Amino acid sequence: MTGSQHKFDIIDVRAGVEADNDRYAALVRQKCREKGIFLVNLMASPGAGKTSVLCRAIDALKDRYSVGVLEADMDADVDSTAVAARGARAVQLHTGTSCHMDGRMTLAGLDAFGNDLPQVVFLENVGNLVCPAEFDVGADLKQMILSVPEGDDKPLKYPLMFTVSECMLVNKIDTAPVFDFDLARCEANLRPLNADMPVFPVSAKTGEGIDAWIAWLIPRIDAKLRGGEEAAK
Amino acid sequence: MTGSQHKFDIIDVRAGVEADNDRYAALVRQKCREKGIFLVNLMASPGAGKTSVLCRAIDALKDRYSVGVLEADMDADVDSTAVAARGARAVQLHTGTSCHMDGRMTLAGLDAFGNDLPQVVFLENVGNLVCPAEFDVGADLKQMILSVPEGDDKPLKYPLMFTVSECMLVNKIDTAPVFDFDLARCEANLRPLNADMPVFPVSAKTGEGIDAWIAWLIPRIDAKLRGGEEAAK
């Protein structure tokens, strides 16, 4: 926390035995249901813009919901500093050499919020298009980001991520003229894996396209939070 | 191999027990020493430009050495098609759900070349800045690529990769004006982890900077191959 004006917790969540993952993911779902939390598992390559997208999402959601962020990083806290500055409650998870978040680490992260639980929690997974796709963390939404510079062929190369995700942002769309990126070709590569996932071209830098994604997200959050209230009655 | 005019082998190398990794990495080193192979472990994020850099390297090296490529992908062969078209012998390794190459898979890949062993073999690892850094594959050179759109803060986020690598390319340097990427800031983040690693800004797209990297690489290849010849006497 040295040098930061913004307070956030840092906890160690190095990977243990993964056989119990489904059990922990179920505990995460139970906690989110009972406490009224909408949990988003945000997955992308390194440098695809997870943190920048998060900052835009916090701006768009924070007047409507309390927003928290679980920042998974091998050993850093730059992202927690960034999102805390933006007005979200941040918990930094140090994953050590683990290349993904699992159910156990996610539950530990939620527990770190104590009794002051946010209504919307974004889990910023480790930057990786492979391993995070394999681990259920008990989220309400598996949200992925592909960025334009990575190329429109990525569904062919990392099929599991594009198969399990439920919503896809194509970030850095403002740089499309610089790269040979064709959104139609990207979708043609995507659809055999995932016929229905909505795709939103966005630029976290300019803000382009963020509104459309947020407009899609809000009814899903509201439905979950309403369900939680009704279950509590 | 459907639809491809270029022949390459596809073998399944799904991860087994990893406890034996060091033993397999030693077998890779032994084979490379005995047969006169310079093995490069090429690591980077998805979309950083591994295949494009490889195509440039093949162009620059193929009149001087026989060049082979081991293409590690979860379940695709687009890269093998690309490098085979460029004149390198390619072996496609399907890693299944594994997020990295290990010693055993690498040995299986070298064995797939049969008796017609290339002098220089590039192992294009799975696109991932985390897991490949943890697995010794017995290479002569751990070569990493960071691409400009990923950002100059990546050494802070994925420290192990930047620590274990022995040479770094900063690819897509032609797009630096589009992104807020500062090479000096990147090096400032890198140097506490790796004081001596040479850093070459390059553009696989335009060819800029590739010559400087190749000029650094050739004496290292020659030294290894000379050593192999002397050992064989």
Residue recorded with tokens 């190095």:
A14
A147:B149 CB<8 A: yes
Task: Count CB neighbours of B7 within 10 A.
Answer: 10
A130 interfaces chain B, CB cutoff of 8 Å: yes
- Residue A76 has a pLDDT of 72
Q: Return d(Cα A187, Cα A193) in angstroms, integer.
A: 10
Please choose, from the candidates B110, B91, B79, B101, the residue with its C-alpha nearest in 3D space to the C-alpha of residue B14.
B101
**Token pair for A49:** 């813009």
Query: Is the pLDDT confidence value at A177 over 60?
Result: yes
Nearest to B97 among A156, A160, A178 (CB): A160
Q: Chain A residues with CB inside 8 Å of B126's CB?
A: 130
For the stretch B94-106, pLDDT in tens is 877 778 888 999 9
Q: What residue ranges do the domains of chain B occupy? A: 23-220
Q: Is A59 helix (H, G, I), strand (E, B) or coil?
A: helix
Q: How far is CA B134 from CA A99, A132, A193, B50, in A?
A: 10, 17, 30, 19
* Ramachandran sector of residue A179 (left: φ over 0; alpha: ψ -120 to 50; beta: rest): beta
Q: Is A232 exposed, middle or buried, given 0-12, 13-18 or 19+ CB atoms closer than 10 A?
A: exposed
- Residue A18 has a pLDDT of 55
- Residue A231 has a pLDDT of 60
B147:A149 CB<8 A: yes
Task: Count CB neighbours of B227 within 10 A.
Answer: 13
A149:B175 CB<8 A: yes
- Residue B17 has a pLDDT of 46
Residue A136 amino acid letter: D
Q: Chain A residues with CB inside 8 Å of B130's CB?
A: 74, 97, 99, 126-128, 131
* Mean pLDDT across B135-154: 97
CA distance, residue A232 to nearest chain B CA (Å) = 40
Q: Sorting pLDDT into bands at 50, 70 and 90, what band is B8?
A: low
Our measurement of the distance from residue B146's CA atom to the centroid of its chain's CA atoms, rounded to an integer in Å, reads 12
For the stretch A98-143, pLDDT in tens is 788 889 999 999 999 999 899 999 999 999 999 899 999 999 999 9
Q: Is A46 helix (H, G, I), strand (E, B) or coil?
A: coil
Q: Chain A residues with CB inside 8 Å of B97's CB?
A: 130, 134, 160
Q: Return d(Cα A202, Cα A1) in angstroms, integer.
A: 32
Q: Hey, of B14, B77, B80, B128, which one would you mutate to test binding to chain A, going by the most A CBs within 10 A of its CB?
A: B128
Q: Chain A residues with CB inside 8 Å of B159's CB?
A: 74-76
Q: Chain A residues with CB inside 8 Å of B147's CB?
A: 47, 149
A47:B45 CB<8 A: yes
B127:A158 CB<8 A: yes
Assign domain A23-220 to its CATH architecture: 3-Layer(aba) Sandwich (3.40)
- Residue B3 has a pLDDT of 40
The number of C-alpha atoms within 13 Å of B63 and in the hemisphere containing its C-beta is 3
How many helices and strands in chain A, by DSSP H and E? 8, 8
Residues 15-44 of A with CB under 8 A from B: none
* Mean pLDDT across B111-124: 94
Q: Chain A residues with CB inside 8 Å of B203's CB?
A: none
Q: What ipTM did this prediction achieve?
A: 0.82
CA distance, residue A10 to nearest chain B CA (Å) = 15
Return the minimum-mean-pLDDT range out of A58-62, B9-13, B152-156: B9-13
Share above pLDDT 90 across residues of chain A, in percent, rounded to a whole number = 70
Q: What angle (nearest 5°) sits at the alpha carbon of residue A213, between those of residues A36 and A46?
A: 90
pTM, entire model: 0.87
Query: Is the pLDDT confidence value at B1 over 90?
Result: no
Q: Hey, of A146, A150, A171, A189, which one would you mutate to test binding to chain B, going by the most B CBs within 10 A of its CB?
A: A150
Q: Sorting pLDDT into bands at 50, 70 and 90, what band is B16?
A: very low
For the stretch A136-167, pLDDT in tens is 999 999 999 999 999 999 999 999 999 999 99
Q: Chain A residues with CB inside 8 Å of B151's CB?
A: 47
- Residue A84 has a pLDDT of 86
Interface A-B, measured as beta-carbon pairs within 8 A, has a size of: 107
Q: Sorting pLDDT into bands at 50, 70 and 90, what band is A4?
A: very low
Q: Chain A residues with CB inside 8 Å of B156's CB?
A: 76, 78
B46:A158 CB<8 A: yes
B165 interfaces chain A, CB cutoff of 8 Å: no
Contact assessment for residue A136 and residue A25, using Cβ atoms and an 8 Å cutoff: yes
